[in-house]
Amino acid sequence: MADEPDVPLTVALAEYEHLRELSRAVHDQSTARFTFFLAVASAATAVSAGLVTTGSPGGRYGPAVLGGLGVLVLLLGISVFARQVELNDRGRRYAVAATVLRTYLARRAEGLAPYLMLPTLDDPGPFAPEPFRRHWFRDLVSQAGMIGLLNSVLVAFAAALATMATGPAWAGAVAAAVLLPVSAAVHLRVIRRRVARSATQVGTVLTHRPPLHRVDHEIVPEESDNSPA
């Protein structure tokens, strides 16, 4: 009947709104963790600079204090980095799910489809969700990538200090120059492997799902009083 509720459309709209809320929650959590890590790293840097310039605490306690601050920030950085990679992975899955639902909604209202700026599955070319079309530099400057860079700087700085304590200054500079790009490459590799795994998982889901057929609308005429019983 024409006055019956459109259950598929109702479910699709509810699910689309739910995905929007999940995406917003992931964004807020990522931003909060990134801001927290930057605040802790900035505070530790300020404390370390103060200890170095003032020369206190002196003797053997100075390196111990600086080393403790460095280990604290590094452990926090590794933890936040792993969490950021996980949150980014969730955000990509939510974005793909929203793309699939947006395709369904666009097929129901074909006259509105040309005005949708975000991509759907019906766009020209092979389907590759926008979150997976990533250049390595984009991953490097992401929130997880920036945390990885800070972790790499900290590792390189610690290696330089350790090398300079037992050898010449040039050896410390060489150690830092070698470890900085290596550590950054490892962090970047972790991010890109997670992106590739997410793309594979999404492709597997879409492949094993029933094919997405175009929605055909047929207006069911209301029964008239003269219709045969």
Spacing of C-alpha 88 from chain mean position: 2
Closest CA to 152 of 123, 119, 125, 186: 186
Is the pLDDT score of 9 beyond 80?
yes
Residue with tokens 């800070």: 150
Q: What are the angstrom distances between the C-alpha of 39 and each of 45, 66, 115?
A: 10, 17, 42
Lowest mean pLDDT among 35-44, 96-105, 119-128, 167-176: 119-128
Q: What is the pLDDT of residue 207?
A: 79
What confidence category does residue 18 fall into, taking pLDDT thresholds of 50, 70 and 90? very high
Per residue in 166-197, pLDDT (tens digit) is 888 888 899 999 999 999 999 999 999 998 88
**212 vs 87 pLDDT, higher one:** 87
Closest CA to 44 of 52, 32, 34, 55: 52
Across residues 17-30, what is the average pLDDT?
94
Is the pLDDT score of 223 beyond 50?
no
Is 75:89 a contact under the CB 8 Å cutoff? no
Single-letter residue type at 78 = I
Query: Can you give the pTM of this predicted structure?
Result: 0.78
Q: What is the pLDDT of residue 188?
A: 94
Is 86:25 a contact under the CB 8 Å cutoff? no
55 Rama sector, left if φ>0, alpha if ψ -120 to 50, beta otherwise? left
Per residue in 122-145, pLDDT (tens digit) is 876 555 555 666 778 888 888 999
What confidence category does residue 37 fall into, taking pLDDT thresholds of 50, 70 and 90? very high
Cα dihedral 123, 198, 202, 33 sign = negative
Q: Is the N-terminal amide bond of 228 cis, ω within 30° of 0?
A: no
Mean pLDDT score across all residues of the chain:
82
What confidence category does residue 81 fall into, taking pLDDT thresholds of 50, 70 and 90? very high
What confidence category does residue 151 fall into, taking pLDDT thresholds of 50, 70 and 90? very high
Across residues 139-160, what is the average pLDDT?
90
Query: How far is Cα 124 from Cα 108, in angstroms, rounded to an integer?
Result: 19
